[in-house]
Amino acid sequence: MDRAWESRKAWLAALSAPVPEGVNNPLEVAAFETETYLDAARTGRSVRFVPYPAMKESYEICRQGNDFQIKGGQPGVLYGAYALIRALQAGEEIPVGVQKPYYPLRMLNCWDNMDGTIERGYAGRSIWFEQGRFDYDPARIRQLGRMLASVGINVLCLNNVNVHQPAQHLTDDLLPEVERFAAILRPFGVRLMLSIDFSQPLQQGLPTADPEDERVAAWWRQRAKEVWRAVPDLAGFLVKADSEHRPGPNAYGRTHAQGANMLARAVKPFGGVLVWRAFVYNCMQDWRDTKTDRPRAAYDLYRPMDGQFDDNVILQIKYGPFDFQVREPVSPLLYAMPKTRLAIEFQLAQEYTGHQIDLYAMPPMWREIMDQTGKQRVEAIAAVSNLGRDDNWTGHPFAALNLFAFGLFAWNPDADPERVIRLWCQNTYDLPAEEREKLVSVLLRSRAIYEKYTAPLGLCWMVRPDGHYGPSPYGYEFQAWGTYNRADCRGVGVDRTAGGTGYADQYPPEIRDRYADSKTCPDELLLFFHRLPYDFVMRDERTLIQRIYDDHFEGAEAAEEMQEALRGLPLPPEDRQEALTRMEMQVRNAREWRDVINTFFHRFSGIDDKKGRRIYD
Amino acid sequence: MDRAWESRKAWLAALSAPVPEGVNNPLEVAAFETETYLDAARTGRSVRFVPYPAMKESYEICRQGNDFQIKGGQPGVLYGAYALIRALQAGEEIPVGVQKPYYPLRMLNCWDNMDGTIERGYAGRSIWFEQGRFDYDPARIRQLGRMLASVGINVLCLNNVNVHQPAQHLTDDLLPEVERFAAILRPFGVRLMLSIDFSQPLQQGLPTADPEDERVAAWWRQRAKEVWRAVPDLAGFLVKADSEHRPGPNAYGRTHAQGANMLARAVKPFGGVLVWRAFVYNCMQDWRDTKTDRPRAAYDLYRPMDGQFDDNVILQIKYGPFDFQVREPVSPLLYAMPKTRLAIEFQLAQEYTGHQIDLYAMPPMWREIMDQTGKQRVEAIAAVSNLGRDDNWTGHPFAALNLFAFGLFAWNPDADPERVIRLWCQNTYDLPAEEREKLVSVLLRSRAIYEKYTAPLGLCWMVRPDGHYGPSPYGYEFQAWGTYNRADCRGVGVDRTAGGTGYADQYPPEIRDRYADSKTCPDELLLFFHRLPYDFVMRDERTLIQRIYDDHFEGAEAAEEMQEALRGLPLPPEDRQEALTRMEMQVRNAREWRDVINTFFHRFSGIDDKKGRRIYD
């Protein structure tokens, strides 16, 4: 069995000894981790644990002379142990007072298929599936549990939301395997979740999957009973229904509330939640149809259902109304469901954000999103995983930052992006402060730079439809996905104000007003909300077209600056090589984006760059 | 074993009894076919065969009272038998005098992979490969042999020119299987050819595949010896080298003549030919580079090598300089290699011509091409197969026409398209004359109609890059394939005259002059050779943009007319259903093309349709 991954510990560089087989619970893991860490660091210090079950996930760290005391529940003490190690490793202050996660459900959604592929995976094949079955190294799953626990992630959804055969059998024949897997993660405070297929009863002998048919409800109750008998602490089911050709309640003329509640009632006796994804839109749109506007879809569908969902249903909403684009406004649905339990969904997998080739540190984006949304609007948080079987776990060694940071944001949505990025650097690399700050700076700027060369002023979907890497500004234009920029010789963009598709009206009035007026709309969303001529004059007196040119020249140049900065960093050799190889690809990609986007708009507008830089014909 | 294909006989509808196992040679097949046919038709007539070995592939049919005599070589007598049946079935005159094929090599290139897929296959999976091995119904291969012989095709290349594992082993371990397959086709006068991988020696232990290395030459000599020992009448090898990432002599700094001659010498002692494909270009082009022009590539590479190829090398050249587009000028290389044996390559598989969904009868296109080229410029003819495991052999029942017609054109490149189409109809369907003529008319117009809605004035590559079906006018624009239209707000097209890329200069002067002047360049090639503004006035006084709009409206309308015509035809139920289902898809496709292309050019030009027809924003 290949064990090269063992030496690649991401931000757990300081934890050299593997967690041994046979640890039974979070307290044992906590004791092992702190003891080994403090011994190795030759601190002469020790940690005393004070289990306090009622504290559950919370912990409190106190100094006791030279030593530490961690009081907490299970897995609270474990979170305390990792927080202590993280702080010591970074030379940061130990957190004072009781620490409690803001969101009780901090979920990682893995889009792993049982054939071993990962949908939108950029770090190799599945860590636990291969050729239609479970296939993993238990030591690697323990290491995974440790990574998740170290940043407080407490739910792992094992399989792709698009449930392909034989993953339907995770809830029946394969349950003993699921439990074996769950048992490995349990001492790390990580519970499993399973993606289910709404049509499962149909596939297994019932004549219908109609959620209002009592036979279907009974079938799911029985299924849930067997699932929780096998895996008593399963967190719940995750469902993608009536979306991108997945089956769902609409086939039977039922609402999503009816569909979700039927399932929620089946899992309720066992304390399970039913997570229902709100990513539903018409993926067979006719491009000629300018009335239908994909960003409207989720709000139009779900808003009328607010209040109809059972209390163990969680509606999981992507942060933007499209699909994990570099720049979207926050989904209006997040403001519109006060009587529904909501989760917000992020995507660590860099599907549209550089495939874990280009640097894209997400914390600044999450900060903006959470600031706009208000953390209290949702009560759970999920992210699509960026993990895979690559030795370094995330393809690009720096992409691990996003998993690390997601955990910290889920615990504390007020987290400061720069601090989180620095903490990751401190825990991952042993760099002199000056060098470390260079890396912090590169990572901190990386998202803004990626945005500059890929996503002009909130125009989404300029990416290649095949694979979602690299530019193709007209690639989606005549397709059925509802993703159009409608560039022509006069202008570009879709009018989403009341005079256009009306999407902006889905927001609360003060937000709507800001977006709906091209004078107050933030620059970075200007072309999301407005259709504008190329000579539209922006607040800074540049024309729209000049701003697009400037951004693309600057973005590609900034990628080269990042490359220059990285070249000088004394990283461990493997990470250095991986990072520089990918940086080389990123610089090429950035130039390609620059030239394709500039040429595209130059061809349509016929307007030259004022600064006379090279735009190809 | 599924035998539904047995009832689907394409143009051999009159031959109801299968050719039995155990027929040993063309004469026996000929006798069986004529006897069975004449018996079934209750003609009371008979055929006497006069074998005359020196006539080889030729035959002569004479009437003897009420009966017939066929004199000929082997397989000449068999070709005579099928010609007789075809004529009787059609009520046509029996051909008078000795009939001799114009091209001695009439080759079908099958792009079958051993995993069972067919590259650019639109009629199901491979008829003879599946899961990495041979897997076929011998009765179906006999029926295939009969189909090929009935139209005079005498070589079948068994495997894809892109040789994927394990197809390299067709020339070693799998030779007994190849011979078993060859033996089934031998009585039909069909010889096999194999596609080989230039790097085979490397894969099988040699340190190099350098054609000038004596070890490599010896390796191939030994390989050829074993191949021809197993299959003594193998026609030869087919090679795609240094093309689209296939290995070739360039890796060793050798020319294609050196590569081809080395292989040709290995196969020469056994009478084999070495067919070398001239489809070589830079498939990693930078779109910014306006100097490089893909259509130039083959001429630039091969022209200097004229006279350097051995006499058993055949350079196989696609009809146009791009790649089987609906409308291209004839490849200038066809005029430029007087000292080289050439084959012309067609593609029956409807890769860019409608995927065997849209109707596209090729004879009118071949007529134009052969008229321009001059049939004597080449001495062999090849076509990429459109066959597959579908019951009806070609996906669309009418697509069989292209295989039928290819055989007849290869036999007689002066064939009249309308006559060939009618002959196919007469042999395939038992329709009243009036209905049959409707079908003839639909088929005869089908290519012009497809061209109208897909390929404006010789602009190639407006097709979707993923799969090559449906419109995507900017889909190739920023890719690496060297296929650009460079549409902008001022005009469209690539200047390929002396003032531009100079491609037109590759033609003999009188052709060059006609193409290079936008006043004399044929309309249908105008945008192949010229970059023109949208308001360019054409010979018929329409503007370029108006002509594009007109063509697309008319093309989509004509597709609807074809649908109307087909609806009334009393075809056999299965064929009728298949044809109408696909026609429905074609009409949708034609509308999509109409609207996407019109919108694309409307957006760039800002010019409205003069007739006020609907162009979407």
CATH number of the structural domain spanning residue B51: 3.30.160
Is the domain of A409 the same as that of A465? Answer: no
Catalytic residues of B: 244, 323, 351
Is the domain of A179 the same as that of A37? Answer: no
Task: Look at residue A520 and tell me if it is in a domain.
Answer: no
Task: Look at residue B8 and tell me if it is in a domain.
Answer: yes
Domain count, chain A: 3
A489 to chain B, any CB pair closer than 8 A? The answer is: yes
Q: pLDDT > 70: what percent of chain A?
A: 100
Nearest to A288 among B489, B490, B595 (CB): B595
Residue tagged 């044996």 (tokens): B341
Residue A8 sits at φ, ψ, to 5 deg, of -105, 100
pLDDT for residue A2 is more than 80: no
Is the domain of A377 the same as that of A478? Answer: no
Total number of residues shown for chain A: 617
Choose, from A57, A60, A323, A575, the residue flagged as catalytic.
A323
The CATH number of the domain where B547 resides is what? 3.90.1330.10
Is the domain of B35 the same as that of B57? Answer: yes
pLDDT tens-digit map of A60-93: 999 998 899 999 999 999 999 999 999 999 999 9
B489 to chain A, any CB pair closer than 8 A? The answer is: yes
The mean pLDDT value for A464-475 works out to: 96
At residue A44 the predicted structure's pLDDT band, cuts being 50, 70 and 90, is: confident
B interface test, pick of A489, A594, A602 with most B CB neighbours within 10 Å: A489
Total number of residues shown for chain B: 617
What would you measure as the largest C-alpha separation in chain A, in angstroms?
A: 73
Helical (H) or strand (E) element with B62: strand B59-64
Is the domain of B360 the same as that of B465? Answer: no
Query: What span, in angstroms and rounded, lies between the C-alpha atoms of A571 and A80?
Result: 29
Task: Look at residue A395 and tell me if it is in a domain.
Answer: yes
The CATH number of the domain where B240 resides is what? 3.20.20.80
* Domain C-terminal end among A404, A422, A440: A422
Task: Look at residue B445 and tell me if it is in a domain.
Answer: no
Is the domain of B115 the same as that of B71? Answer: no
Query: What is the CB-side half-sphere exposure of residue B149 using CA atoms within 13 A?
Result: 33
Three-class DSSP labels, B241-281: CCCCCCCCHHHHCCCHHHHHHHHHHHHHHHCCEEEEECCCC
Neighbours of B414 (CB within 10 A): 10
Give the minimum alpha-carbon distance from B38 to chain A in angstroms, rounded to a whole number. Answer: 54
pLDDT tens-digit map of A506-518: 999 999 999 999 9
Q: What is the mean pLDDT of chain B?
A: 97
The DSSP code sequence of A19-64 is PPTT--SHHHHHHHHHHHHHHHTT----EEEEE-GGGTT-EEEEEE
A interface test, pick of B466, B488, B501 with most A CB neighbours within 10 Å: B488
Strands B155-157 and B133-134: unpaired
Nearest to B490 among A474, A599, A606 (CB): A606
pLDDT tens-digit map of B584-607: 999 999 999 999 999 999 999 999
pLDDT recorded at residue A1: 62
Q: Are A617 and B290 a contacting pair at CB < 8 A? A: yes
Task: Look at residue B501 and tell me if it is in a domain.
Answer: no
Are residues B235 and B192 in contact, defined by beta-carbon separation less than 8 angstroms?
Answer: yes
Task: Look at residue A32 and tell me if it is in a domain.
Answer: yes
Q: Are B606 and A490 a contacting pair at CB < 8 A? A: yes
Of all residues in chain B, the one with the smallest CA distance to A597 is B478
What would you measure as the largest C-alpha separation in chain B, in angstroms?
A: 73
Structural domain range at position A236: 105-422
Determine whether A244 is an active site residue. yes
Query: What span, in angstroms and rounded, lies between the C-alpha atoms of B98 and B57?
Result: 10
Nearest 10 degrees: CA dihedral of A359, A362, A364, A370?
Answer: 160
Q: List CB contacts (< 8 A) between A488 and chain B.
A: 602-604, 606, 617
pLDDT tens-digit map of A94-149: 999 999 999 999 999 999 999 999 999 999 999 999 999 999 999 999 999 999 99
User: How many residue pairs from chains A and B have C-beta atoms closer than 8 A?
Assistant: 63
Is the domain of A227 the same as that of A156? Answer: yes
Is the domain of A169 the same as that of A289? Answer: yes
A54 to chain B, any CB pair closer than 8 A? The answer is: no
Is the domain of B30 the same as that of B57? Answer: yes
ipTM for the complex? 0.94
Of all residues in chain A, the one with the smallest CA distance to B616 is A288
Is the domain of B307 the same as that of B328? Answer: yes
CA atoms B203, B207, B208, B214: torsion sign:
negative
Is the domain of A294 the same as that of A376? Answer: yes
Are residues A487 and A531 in contact, defined by beta-carbon separation less than 8 angstroms?
Answer: no
Q: Are B487 and A603 a contacting pair at CB < 8 A? A: yes
Is the domain of B257 the same as that of B120? Answer: yes
- 3-class secondary-structure state, position A533: strand
* Domain C-terminal end among B393, B428, B463: B428
* Domain C-terminal end among B53, B73, B99: B99
Full-model pTM = 0.95
Q: Are B466 and A466 a contacting pair at CB < 8 A? A: yes
Task: Look at residue B511 and tell me if it is in a domain.
Answer: no
Query: What span, in angstroms and rounded, lies between the C-alpha atoms of B272 and A521?
Result: 73
pLDDT tens-digit map of B461-494: 999 999 999 999 999 999 999 999 999 999 999 9
Query: What span, in angstroms and rounded, lies between the C-alpha atoms of A243 and A256?
Result: 11
Task: Look at residue A11 and tell me if it is in a domain.
Answer: yes
